[in-house]
Structure 1
């Protein structure tokens, strides 16, 4: 599993950018592996936390009336670091002591060679703007963000949006991963997509070295998921570090309870994680209507076909269709999301309570946001501009229902062959 990892003079420092329930669950995994890395990773893992004030409730097992932590509102980062628990977003799960909650984004990423992005996708552009010039130029990233970046220039993966804004290479992680189950160490699996830049860890040794190279590799080109040369000129990871390849990423994310498969298909893994949330909304509505498992299976079948079709149409140069059927980021994630994911649950409750999904979101998610609703709107905006709404009837139906322009009861007719 780790055949390419040999002795190196420097260790990788890892930072997780984001601390919601999924961000904290991933940070837990990363910190556990960093603590047992045999010199590959620095033991201390930083987790950037958007600072907010919280009170430890009297119902919490941590509550102690005599404790300073229980004297009114406290900084969330202080509570996490002192209790080793994110009591707001991942309550009841003990975090490793080598995981440090940091309220300063700039300090959290300082000198980090591996950045794991795990936050709602509506915030990523602002975060990237704050990170410009604050990270190592040869850092590498993994995006755990569920969504797509839609703008006037088309549709993009967030892994590549991050890469372009920060001038680095970024892969993706996605799978059938309900955060609370992962954090509770219930067995699951995930998919990591990373197409290693070809000159990483082949950077010349320092000129002071007796074996220094005469070639100074300052930057190099690589292809993006469109199959074209990227606008980003990468700086190679210096050879003082272990190479950032499939073996290293498996070492960073794989746990006995969290099995990681590493592939090259960044587009397939990213789209699987984004588009399944749209399908999960439809599945939740169907379930809320009481139509049964047959109807939900029909929605999932159509949804999977639209996911594959979307990938072929807009990322055909690099995407592998088998990612949707063979990887956790594909059909497995779709099944999980349409059975117990938050998009599914909130959509079902919206029918049962006769309320808009947005209202359910406010009462059920403890301040967090659904990704399916925003992705559905962004995808429809893109498809509408392309004149392709009719080619994706389920994606279009979800958008129309969210906008109040269509009834859930009309889904069967809308999907009729």
Structure 2
């Protein structure tokens, strides 16, 4: 029997995941808000704003009718900006099959509360079983995935059955998924690496070299891990695809919006100008605000995040921010090596 799947969000990654699913033989209903985008996908088999020059599979059907897209679907993928996540959950709740498996691929935090996306899912989809929620993340630029370039990611869920259900649904010859029970760590790695990519972009825009880039990435991973441990994540998660893997891809790739935004800021452009010029969501900007808030609430030391927050929202220059990071008090690196924490499935 052909599997029917709903993908909510027709941006670059949502469209790329729809392409993967269609390649697996699924019938994919892809939700898009704008009617002109719906017509383009259905009539031209393109989504030119987000994935130019990519021809879309005939098994993808776009629609702006959320109820129709969700009707009867056993699998639902949520792929929208973090700023729209809560509103989208509230919109889908009346139409969601109570037995559906729901995974999100959104990287970021709720700015008002500092909550992760899976926490919003548990709060808003209150009639749904949280053991059927999953997180999909890892080094996966949509521009490459949509062209069927080999890509590997992580699907995390509290329930092994849920993680493996999405693994079976999405695994192809070019898209490989690993499972993980650490929802907190997987989610944090995918969100916080965007902040570090902004900082690496600052350094590259300022003309600093590979030494500075390596330092920011390595120390950035340390501070991601530090916050993760405070919030209950497993340390080993940050050494995997959703941690160091995603960090490398986002800090070094021409496809990375966060790196490109940081690079432009490092060259002296204003944040408003950069965001207008990009024309698409730069999740690292919102993630910086959310992570800074969480760090203040928990007392976790996050110097790179703090410096980037000061550049984005307090008018500090990128050059001064990087220099201040280099001038921090001396510290012994091994002081920050914590005992590894592991975890297992809830069922």
TM-score tier by shorter-chain length is 0.7 to 0.9
**Alpha-carbon displacement from aligned partner over 1:93-135 (angstroms, at most 9, x marks no partner):** 1211111101111211111121101010100111111122211
Query: How far did 1:12 drift?
Result: 5.1
Query: How far did 1:292 drift?
Result: 0.2
Which residue is 2:16 aligned to? Answer: 25
Which residue is 1:156 aligned to? Answer: 115
State yes or no: 1:412 paired with 2:323. Answer: yes
Alpha-carbon distance in 1 for matches of 2:65, 2:119 = 24
RMSD of aligned Cα (Å): 1.8
**Alpha-carbon displacement from aligned partner over 1:13-46 (angstroms, at most 9, x marks no partner):** 310000111111111112222x1xxxxxxx3211
Residue 305 of structure 2, aligned match among 374, 390, 395? 395
**What is the number of residues matched between the two proteins?**
321
Which residue is 2:66 aligned to? Answer: 105
Larger helix proportion, structure 1 or 2? 2
State yes or no: 1:190 paired with 2:153. Answer: yes
Residue 28 of structure 2, aligned match among 45, 49, 69? 45
Which residue is 1:93 aligned to? Answer: 54
CA contact (8 A) 2:6 2:77 kept: yes
Over 4 Å off, 4+ runs: none
Alpha-carbon distance in 2 for matches of 1:81, 1:289 = 44
Which residue is 2:273 aligned to? Answer: 359
Alpha-carbon distance in 2 for matches of 1:118, 1:383 = 26
CA contact (8 A) 1:342 1:370 kept: yes
Matches within 5 A, 1:139-178: 139-152=100-113, 155-167=114-126, 168=128, 169=130, 170-178=133-141
> Which of these two proteins has the greater Rg computed from alpha carbons?
1
Query: How far did 1:271 drift?
Result: 0.6
State yes or no: 1:130 paired with 2:72. Answer: no
Alpha-carbon distance in 2 for matches of 1:296, 1:381 = 25
Alpha-carbon distance in 2 for matches of 1:187, 1:138 = 32
Which piece of structure 1 moves more, 169-178 or 248-257? 248-257
Which residue is 1:329 aligned to? Answer: 242
Residue 282 of structure 1, aligned match among 175, 193, 199? 199
Q: TM-score w.r.t. structure 1 length? A: 0.73
Which residue is 2:257 aligned to? Answer: 342
Aligned partner of residue 247 in structure 2, secondary structure: helix
Alpha-carbon distance in 1 for matches of 2:272, 2:258 = 11
Aligned partner of residue 132 in structure 1, secondary structure: helix
Alpha-carbon distance in 1 for matches of 2:242, 2:154 = 6
CA contact (8 A) 2:200 2:251 kept: yes
Change (3 A) 1:405 1:414: farther
Q: TM-score w.r.t. structure 2 length? A: 0.87
CA contact (8 A) 2:2 2:27 kept: no
Aligned partner of residue 314 in structure 2, secondary structure: coil
Change (3 A) 1:77 1:275: same
Query: How far did 1:251 drift?
Result: 2.0
CA contact (8 A) 2:196 2:220 kept: yes
Which residue is 2:335 aligned to? Answer: none
Alpha-carbon distance in 2 for matches of 1:22, 1:101 = 15
**Alpha-carbon displacement from aligned partner over 1:289-329 (angstroms, at most 9, x marks no partner):** 11100001111111100110111012x2xx2211111x211
Which piece of structure 1 moves more, 330-339 or 259-268? 259-268
Query: How far did 1:92 drift?
Result: 1.2
